[in-house]
């Protein structure tokens, strides 16, 4: 409930702080006194967008702050979901800075307007002519039925499962789109994969083949050079090996003459050993060399294949070709397995659909059971509110689609006059009738769920004194479970309040300001007397006011 309201520098209000209590709170005042200003301030702390034009002094900060006792509202989960500190006395504050920037706070934590609106819906319900149109809204009509049907838990389960179903439906759709696109590429990917598989790629093979190709392609030249090298090494007269042996023989005679001769001898000996080894290697290479045109063709063909593949895939190594082959193999495998994956997801979808249908059937059954009871209560209350011929028909039809709150389609039909036809609410009821229907619905709902603080804004417009008494009695009854405010021009309703505030204007230092004052018992008598007979209060009006208050 709203326990305190502070308004600073807003519209015609310089500074105002007022405390409120449980029960039925009456707000009265002459037309133009500033009741709409009060509602405007409350709307700001409920998340309405701010307007710099509503600031009284544009050079100063405007502040609207409301303190709410939320202990009975079961809002801990909501606070946690919004990452807010839960306090049983929650403070909501809006600030409009001179720059025009607006800020919002919940328990001193900065929040977005969206967060403020979500919380505000659970704290304060301003019932205006505009909100009466909510009656014709399907979502609101479902809220009425489901509150009576105690469908909260079933709806939570349904919404959770529906979210999963929607997610799964989206996943299946993506897989099917992926399959369509993949099938377009499948043949080409298979062709590319076949090429790479048939190439029998081996890491390091390119370098080996290139070396073998160079050897086979230049074998005659290689043979000639090896043969000449063999001769230069092995010739008995002028061969390198023979000459080195002679040098070695001569130096062997000097080794005892000093270390310098021993060193040079050792080097010649090592060189001779290396030359003999080279000679043997050349002989081996000569023996292995053999022209092989067929092998040359095979090597050349393989090299052309590899270079062609590297050029096609714009790479420079066998390793990169192997990576592309593995990637193509994965793509082909995924495409070929998509059908099985889609089938698996579709089976999962059917299972969830069955579960969702069962929950929606329970929701439908619960709704169907309470509709006759709701109709009976509505018609009974409306009879006391001056609509004795009002008859309701509430149609609940099952849809083939999964809707946001079940599989039902709902329609509220009203016949406002005797013998009249049933039509949609917006076509059947006037604004005043819609207001009375809304009051009846709010009253019924207050018996089934914890409603937020409600503020009726001149719901009694155009209503007779007798019916206004009935309205006031309904509001009094609602106060047993919730806090109720009503802005009224009718003395019959004003007299039924537990608390009475008056909105008025006064000039302070030649500046008009709006004030809100809680009336003492004697002041209340005068206010109601003025509502009965005008500014000049007569004794009869005062007596009548006392009777109403009693």
pLDDT of residue 372: 96
Q: b/e per residue, 55-77, with b = 16+ CB within 10 A?
A: bbeeeeebbbbbbbbbeebebee
pLDDT band at 116 (very low <50, low <70, confident <90, very high): very high
What's residue 547's pLDDT? 92
What per-residue confidence (pLDDT) applies to 237?
A: 67
pLDDT of 93 higher than 90: yes
- Predicted local confidence at residue 132, as pLDDT: 66
CA dist 347 and 350 (Å) reads 5
Phi, psi of 482 (to 5 degrees): -160, 170
What's CA 58's distance to the chain center, in Å?
37
pLDDT at 182 over 70: yes
Q: Are 43 and 127 in contact (CB under 8 A)?
A: no
Half-sphere exposure in the Cβ direction for 90 (13 Å, CA): 29
**Other Cβ atoms closer than 10 A to 184:** 10
What is the predicted pLDDT for the residue at 525? Answer: 94
Given a cut of 70, whether residue 184 has pLDDT beyond it is yes
What is the layout of strands, in order, in the sheet containing 89-96? Answer: 13-19, 2-10, 62-69, 89-96, 102-106, 109-111
Checking if the pLDDT of 434 tops 90, the result is no
pLDDT at 27 (0 to 100): 94
Contact 328, 192 (CB under 8 A): yes
Q: Give the residue from 40, 13, 34 showing the smallest Cα distance to 502.
A: 34
Phi, psi of 459 (to 5 degrees): -65, -15
Please compute the mean of the pLDDT values over residues 370-381 and round it to a whole number.
94
Q: Among residues of the chain, what percentage have pLDDT more than 70?
A: 98
- Mean pLDDT taken over the chain: 87
What is the structure's pLDDT at 424?
Answer: 85
pLDDT over 90 (residue 371): yes
User: Which pLDDT belongs to residue 207?
Assistant: 86
Confidence of residue 58 (pLDDT cuts 50, 70, 90): confident
What is the CB neighbour count within 10 angstroms for residue 15? 12
What confidence tens digit (pLDDT) does each residue in 445-473 have?
A: 888 888 889 998 888 777 777 888 888 99
* pLDDT of amino acid 238: 63
Backbone angles phi, psi at 176, to 5 degrees: -70, -40
Handedness of CA 467, 470, 476, 481 (dihedral sign): negative
Surface-to-core class of residue 350, CB atoms within 10 Å of its CB (0-12 exposed, 13-18 middle, 19+ buried): exposed
What 3-state class would DSSP assign to 56?
coil
Percent of the chain with pLDDT over 90: 40
Alpha helix (H) ranges present in 488-520? 491-494
Q: Is 472 exposed, middle or buried (0-12, 13-18, 19+ CB in 10 A)?
A: buried
Looking at residue 550, what DSSP letter applies?
-
| pLDDT of 224 higher than 90 | no
pLDDT at 228: 79
Instruction: State the Cα angle at 478 between 476 and 480, rounded to 5°.
Output: 85
pLDDT (tens digit per residue) in 130-146: 666 677 778 888 989 99
* Rounded average pLDDT over 400-416: 91
């Amino acid at each position: 409930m709203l326990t305190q309201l502070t308004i600073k520098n807003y519209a015609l209000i310089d500074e105002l702080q007022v405390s409120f209590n449980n029960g039925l709170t009456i707000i009265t005042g002459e037309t133009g006194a500033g009741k709409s200003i009060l509602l405007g301030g409350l709307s700001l702390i409920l998340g309405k967008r701010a307007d710099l034009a509503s600031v009284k002094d544009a050079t100063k900060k405007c502040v609207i702050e409301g303190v709410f006792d939320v202990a009975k509202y079961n809002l801990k989960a909501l606070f946690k979901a919004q990452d807010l500190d839960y306090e049983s006395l929650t403070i909501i504050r809006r600030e409009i800075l001179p720059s025009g920037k607006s800020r919002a706070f919940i328990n001193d934590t900065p929040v977005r307007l969206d967060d403020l609106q979500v919380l505000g819906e659970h704290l304060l319900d301003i019932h205006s002519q505009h909100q009466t149109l909510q009656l014709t809204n399907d979502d609101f009509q479902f809220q009425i039925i489901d509150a009576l049907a105690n469908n909260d838990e079933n709806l939570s389960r349904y919404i959770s499962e529906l979210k999963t179903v929607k997610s799964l439906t989206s996943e299946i759709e993506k897989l099917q789109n992926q399959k369509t696109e993949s099938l377009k590429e499948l043949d080409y990917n298979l062709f590319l994969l076949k090429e790479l598989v048939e190439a029998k790629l081996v890491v390091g093979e390119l370098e080996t083949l290139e070396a073998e190709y160079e050897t086979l392609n230049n074998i005659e030249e290689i043979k000639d050079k090896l043969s000449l090298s063999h001769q230069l090494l092995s010739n008995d007269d002028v061969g390198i090996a023979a000459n080195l042996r002679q040098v070695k023989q001569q130096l062997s005679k000097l080794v005892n003459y000093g270390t310098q001769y021993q060193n040079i001898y050792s080097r010649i000996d090592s060189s001779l050993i290396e030359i003999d080894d080279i000679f043997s290697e050349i002989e081996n290479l000569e023996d292995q060399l053999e022209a092989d045109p067929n092998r040359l063709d095979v090597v050349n063909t393989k090299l052309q294949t590899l270079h062609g593949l590297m050029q096609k895939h714009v790479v420079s190594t066998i390793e990169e070709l192997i990576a592309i082959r593995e990637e193509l193999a994965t793509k082909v495998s995924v495409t070929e397995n998509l059908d099985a994956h889609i089938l698996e997801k579709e089976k999962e979808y059917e299972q969830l659909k069955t579960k969702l249908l069962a929950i929606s059937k329970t929701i439908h059954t619960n709704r169907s059971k309470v509709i006759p009871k709701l109709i009976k209560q509505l018609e009974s209350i409306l009879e006391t509110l001056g609509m004795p011929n009002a008859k309701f028909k509430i149609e609940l039809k099952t849809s083939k689609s999964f809707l946001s709150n079940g599989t039902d389609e709902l329609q509220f039909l009203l016949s406002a006059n005797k013998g009249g036809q049933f039509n949609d609410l917006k076509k059947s009821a006037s604004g005043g009738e819609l207001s009375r229907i809304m009051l009846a619905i709010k009253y019924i709902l207050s018996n089934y769920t914890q409603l937020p603080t409600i503020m009726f804004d001149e719901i009694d417009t155009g209503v007779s004194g007798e019916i206004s008494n009935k309205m006031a009695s309904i509001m009094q009854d609602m106060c047993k479970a919730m806090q109720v405010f009503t802005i009224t021009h009718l003395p019959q309703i004003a007299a039924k309040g537990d608390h009475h505030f008056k909105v008025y204007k006064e000039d302070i230092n030649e500046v008009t300001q709006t004030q809100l004052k809680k009336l003492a018992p004697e002041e209340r008598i005068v206010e109601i007397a003025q509502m009965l007979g005008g500014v000049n209060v007569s004794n009869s009006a005062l007596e009548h006011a006392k009777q109403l208050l009693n």
